[in-house]
Amino acid sequence: MCRPSGHHAGRDFGGGATYLNNSAIAARALSATLGRISLIDIDVHHGNGTQDIFWEDPLVFFASLHRSPADYYPHLTGFSDETGGRSAPRLTLNQPLSAETGDAAYIAAFNTCLEAALYHGPEVLIISLGFDPLASDPARGLQLTVEAFRKIGETLGRLDLPVLLIQEGGYDLMSLEKAATTFLLALSQPPNDPACS
Ligand SMILES: [Zn+2]
User: Ligand 1 center to residue 168 CA distance, Å?
Assistant: 7
Q: Which CATH number applies to 22-190?
A: 3.40.800.20
Residue pLDDT, tens place only, 151-171: 999 999 999 999 999 999 999
pLDDT band at 192 (very low <50, low <70, confident <90, very high): confident
User: Ligand 1 center to residue 8 CA distance, Å?
Assistant: 9
What is the model's pLDDT at position 1? 85
Residue pLDDT, tens place only, 35-77: 999 999 999 999 999 999 999 999 999 999 999 999 999 999 9
Greatest Cα pair distance, the chain, in angstroms, is 45
- Catalytic residue annotation: 8
pLDDT band at 20 (very low <50, low <70, confident <90, very high): very high
User: Ligand 1 center to residue 188 CA distance, Å?
Assistant: 24
